[in-house]
A and B are shown apart, each in its own frame.
Chain A
Amino acid sequence: MNSSASRDRPRGFEPVDHTADIGLRAWGPTLEDLFAQAAIGMTNLLVDSGRIRQREERRVAVPAGDLEEVLVGWLQEILYLHEVGRFVASEFRVARAGSDGVEATLLGEPIDRERHAPRMDIKAATYHDLRIERTRGADGCERFETVIIFDV
């Protein structure tokens, strides 16, 4: 499994080991970045995402709730698009993310098994120990960070 960036970078994600399932650490300078990184990271667990072309758009909206609930809702929305809508995205333009919900545009294409080889089946994004935290990166700048565990 490849991670996109070292933790020193201002935004990124990396897989995290977990006994029962698999986790993902994601971070970014804004909540919008954090949500986008979590989505890219999860997509990378679902399929080989290196060859996703940006041929179609999907709009995603998630209703208000506490931050963790909104993050879970956002990832579930992408899982749903993946499983039922058969759509994968390589870019997540998050216009707004916070406790009043998410508005985003996904750029991607319909799933093609040859092109986007499946990696694992994620049943759900869970609330286990889920917290979105404000931390400080190696560059000294504030950032948002979270670890989310997926049930596989």
Chain B
Amino acid sequence: MKDGGSIELRKVSDTLFEIPRSGGMRVAGRIYADEKLLSEIEGEGGLAQVRNVAHLPGIVGYSLAMPDVHWGYGFPIGGVAATDPEQGGVVSPGGVGYDINCGIRLCPTRLTVDEVRPRIDKLVARLFSNIPCGVGSEGAIPSVSKKELQAVMRLGARWAIEKGYGDPGQTKNIEDDGRIEGADPDAVSERAVERGLEQIGTLGSGNHFAEIDVVDRIFNPEVARSFGIEENQIAILIHTGSRGFGYQICDDYLRTLGRAMQKHGIQLPDRQLACAPVASEEGRAYLAAMACAANFAWANRQTIQHLAEKALIDGMGRSRGDIGLRLLYDVSHNVAKIEWHEVEGKLRRLCVHRKGATRAHLPRGQEGRWPHGQPVIIPGDMGTESYICVGTERSLGETFGSTCHGAGRVLSRTAARARFGKRDLVRELADGGITVMAKGRGTLAEEMTGAYKNVERVVDVMDRAGISRKVARLRPLGVIKG
């Protein structure tokens, strides 16, 4: 797993490094980072994975890594790769991850920090009781029928809105309108369905969370204004994905595509990179099932937004209009999608994998919705700030319209438990002005600030590289975790 310093790196610029093509690599690798982040990345296994991904049939441009890159299954987390189906390009479940359409949603409100701070403990307790979280938690909304779950798979966020969990206009503020085309429930196993029935409206555990944040800095007043973001404003941040439903689909298709590799004559350095041509029966089936899980995740985040809004209404004792919660944007950071991109002057239909990476720019032709660019939400870890950024046109040319997704782990969970496990973390965070409620005691230690890279440094690299610009910063006041 270690890179062992054996990987040759060439400096392209202050924010970009290259792994030159060698051996079976079809393209070079490129890593966005500064010297400090690079030193954290080296020796951790992620670079070897950037190199492995460069072996994928039909890969176009570069095997890319964002500055938050770290070791993942098959693909590194923070990895971006586009393949061309016309050139035998493949789709790989390892390029999406187990938690399909894990993503982040930001909901600004009309509330200000002065109104919320005196009631923060009460509000966090409300969130904690409204939103099921933690290991094995069940849905706050009743378990759905199998037929209903098929509607979730096809409709995504719209399913939740039709149930009354949100307003009809909100889907336009979700990547892909909260629904990936081509979802086919018949491509999903019975087992995945069973795992999904009770998990809509649940947060899960690990790094998933819901937060009450305050906007504490504005970097770009013009863009912030266009996003309706101002200083001292309160916003809700939700981070979760497709739960057991998505994990099962990933697992099912790792097996299916692993077997299909022989049939299609594909050999790769790591079994977790199992893949099949996008145009093959197996590749198409995976994309159809993956779309079901992506849509499930959007229904999930939409439902949780509704539960969070209810917590604010009850906790503040004010009307829905007074709270004024709206959806700024919802981005996916674990997904593979068919998108059009210009490569060497030609528009090509590509399968873009983003694993622990965020779409930074709308596909060509849809930019009109966001004249300043699409909002990009980049969460920090539990004790630190999150960022609202805006994608640039330059990202389209360099990273297939992608940027970083978060901080990226540096300490293993076990090491984090060993370092922080004995401390009174709830108290320490409270002293720093953050109220935390978590189901599992261990989760807090695993998710502490020191377990992650510095998110500001990660966001700054992408800002300096001109891929995504900082707009505003969010500071957590209250957090709930699994």
Contacts and interface: CB of A to CB of B under 8 A. Distances in A.
Given A22-B414, A120-B440, A124-B98, 11 more contacts: A19-B71, A20-B72, A73-B255, A118-B135, A121-B134, A123-B99, A124-B247, A127-B254, A127-B258, A151-B73, A152-B206
B272 interface: yes
B134 A76 contact: no
Q: Which 9 pairs across A and B sit closest by C-beta, in order of nearness? A: A118-B135, A121-B205, A121-B135, A127-B271, A123-B247, A17-B414, A19-B412, A123-B98, A84-B194
Contacts of A124: 98, 247, 250-251
A56 interface: no
Interface string B419-450: 00000000000000000000010100000000
B249 to A, nearest CB: 11
Nearest to B208: A121
Interface residues of A, number: 29
Contact of B412 (A18, A76, A120, A129): A18
Interface of A: 1, 15, 17-22, 68-69, 73, 76, 80, 83-84, 111, 118-121, 123-124, 126-130, 151-152
Contacts of A18: 412, 414
26 contacts: A17-B412, A19-B1, A19-B70, A19-B409, A19-B411, A19-B412, A20-B70, A20-B77, A22-B413, A69-B258, A76-B251, A80-B191, A111-B136, A118-B440, A119-B442, A123-B98, A123-B244, A124-B247, A126-B272, A127-B73, A127-B271, A127-B274, A128-B272, A129-B1, A151-B247, A152-B413
A76 B250 CA distance: 12
Contacts of A22: 412-414
B255 A20 contact: no
A120 B272 contact: no
A120 B205 contact: yes
Contacts of A151: 73, 98, 247
B414 A15 contact: yes
Contacts of A121: 134-136, 204-206, 482
A151 B72 CA distance: 9
A101 B257 CA distance: 20
A30 to B, nearest CB: 25
Contacts of B440: 118-120
Interface of B: 1, 44-45, 70-73, 77, 98-99, 134-136, 191, 194-195, 204-206, 244, 247, 250-251, 254-255, 258, 270-272, 274, 409-415, 440, 442, 482
Contacts of A120: 135, 205, 440, 442
B195 A84 contact: yes
Nearest to B134: A118
A80 B248 CA distance: 9
Contacts of B191: 80, 84
B254 to A, nearest CB: 7
B5 to A, nearest CB: 17
A69 B255 CA distance: 8
A83 B482 CA distance: 16
A126 B71 CA distance: 14
B272 A19 contact: no
Contacts of B73: 126-128, 151
Contacts of B413: 21-22, 152
A93 B206 CA distance: 31
Contacts of A80: 191, 195
